[in-house]
Chain A
Amino acid sequence: MSDLTFRLTATVLYLVLAPFLGGLLAGLDRILSARMQRRVGPPLLQPFYDVLKLWDKQPIAVNKAVSFYVGGFLLFVLLTGVFFFTGGDILLAVFTLTMASVCLIIAGYATASPYSQEGAQRELVQSMAYEPMLLIVALGFYLSAGSFFIRDIMQMPYMNFLRMPGIFLGFCYILLIKFRKSPFDISMSPEVHQELIGGVKTELSGRTLAVMEIAHWYENVFLLGMVFLFFMSSAAWSLAVGFAACVAVYFFSILIDNSCSRMKWESMLASTWIVTLLAGFLNVAYLIYFK
């Protein structure tokens, strides 16, 4: 298979399959969360029902620009995934993901609602917290594999995880922010209505909200792809390890979500930076000086 065919296939597969996978993961998340709270929980396909319902609601917008920015959020998340799953530059994927969250923040600021504004503010603090770690992940892969290109990184004779366990730990820590799980669900999550109505999502409804949900599904699939990459090597059995790692990381993020209360943003920022510094930075130092 030529390089171009591979890239085109990967792009189409990602664009078509990722929302199904992401939606199923979201449904699984809700069932698992319910079981952890001794409830039965909704059907597995509930997230799809929600999105299809939202698609049919009366379109209401306080500011038409919001749906444009949310569309931008979806677009940049899609681009991130395409760069990543076609074996492109990991640095480019990380930066495009940043653009996606910028769109989200602008969408939050675009309405006058104080809840939306506060949500955007917190979203900004969140990206301040996790961005350094994301960059360290890209840097770590480069130092470990000698290339920023994912197609080179996944061809290594050993798992990159073995050389960068600290970076993996730090990445899992910021995954809680990106998955919008407690204790870091401060800007937007199903539970944030206890204090912020909907955070960034407050003024969204109907199709705009549906697009936002779908973008989150794509984003979650990309993030689990990053987890997968840590365990990927040229050996075939590494695929099984990577899959198991994704399952474990997703399960533990749900477990932590259900056993933690929400942190204040100061604690989130401080703890994330401490983890980034200790786990991420020391690991980078090891890769530079001792590898």
Chain B
Amino acid sequence: MAFETKSPWLIHYDGSSCNGCDIEVLACLTPLFDVERFGIVNTGNPKQADIFLVTGGVNAQNLPVVRQIYDEMAEPKVVVAVGTCACSGGVFRECYNMMGGMDKAIPVDVFVPGCAARPEAIIDGVVKGLALLDEKHRKLKASKTYGVAEDDPRTIGGERE
């Protein structure tokens, strides 16, 4: 049984969002929505996170940051793009500095539209992400190398069990 789905830890990063979606993300932690009911913890540490909750579109400034956070996360991991900007670039799409939605920077698994995305929609997106997390976990278990080359210096051992 995969315990990923029972204890998904989040890292939340604000790309170039207007903070609307970020406030809604934080609203999920409040007593009204209380995502800790599902074991969800807002860690703020990519190395310990399972789900990357990212808001805002990608531009030249945040591109390396988003990629670094994504690379630092351990497999299995899921990316949830929250809000219209993270999905497609939103109203900023045509700006000269914008590269578009978060899928231009990293592989996104779940898109949560909305401006700003409602907390209910965010929770729904995370739950959809959990199903993917479970699937990825099973695939990685089957592949045994955890999707990482054995000479990857970050991995201890490489092969598992």
Contact = CB atoms under 8 A, between A and B. Distances in A.
A58 interface: yes
Given A61-B156, A205-B74, A49 B3 contact: yes
Interface in B1-44: 2-4, 6-7, 9, 31, 34, 36-39, 41-44
Interface stretch (A7-15, A86-94, A190-198, A247-255): A190-198
For this complex, into which size category does the number of interface residues on chain A fall?
Answer: 35 or more
Contact of A204 (B7, B48, B147, B157): B48
Nearest to A203: B47
Contacts of A197: 44-45
Interface in A35-59: 37-43, 46, 49-50, 52-54, 56-59
Contact of B48 (A46, A49, A64, A205): A205
Contacts of B50: 53, 57
A209 B147 CA distance: 21
A42 B75 contact: no
Given A58-B146, A198-B43, A53 B36 contact: no
Contacts of A201: 45, 48
Interface string B105-149: 000000000000000000000000000000001001100001110
A34 to B, nearest CB: 6
A67 interface: yes
Interface string B144-161: 001110000011110010
B4 A56 contact: yes
A206 interface: yes
How many chain B residues sit at the interface, stated as a range, is: 20 to 34
Given A56-B137, A57-B74, A64-B156, A34 B48 contact: no
Interface in A178-206: 190, 193-194, 197-198, 201-206
Contacts of A52: 3
Nearest to A207: B156
Contacts of A64: 156
B2 A56 contact: yes
A59 B155 contact: yes
Nearest to B145: A58
A56 B36 contact: no
A61 B154 CA distance: 6
Given A56-B4, A60-B155, A206 B74 contact: yes
A291 to B, nearest CB: 49
21 contacts: A34-B36, A38-B31, A39-B34, A42-B36, A42-B37, A43-B39, A49-B6, A49-B39, A50-B7, A52-B3, A53-B4, A56-B3, A56-B4, A58-B146, A58-B148, A60-B47, A60-B156, A61-B156, A193-B43, A194-B44, A201-B45
Given A42-B38, A50-B39, 14 more contacts: A34-B34, A34-B36, A39-B36, A41-B34, A41-B36, A49-B3, A56-B137, A58-B155, A60-B155, A193-B42, A198-B43, A204-B47, A205-B47, A205-B74
Interface of A: 30, 34, 37-43, 46, 49-50, 52-54, 56-62, 64, 67, 190, 193-194, 197-198, 201-206, 209
Interface of B: 2-4, 6-7, 9, 31, 34, 36-39, 41-45, 47-48, 50, 74-76, 137, 140-141, 146-148, 154-157, 160
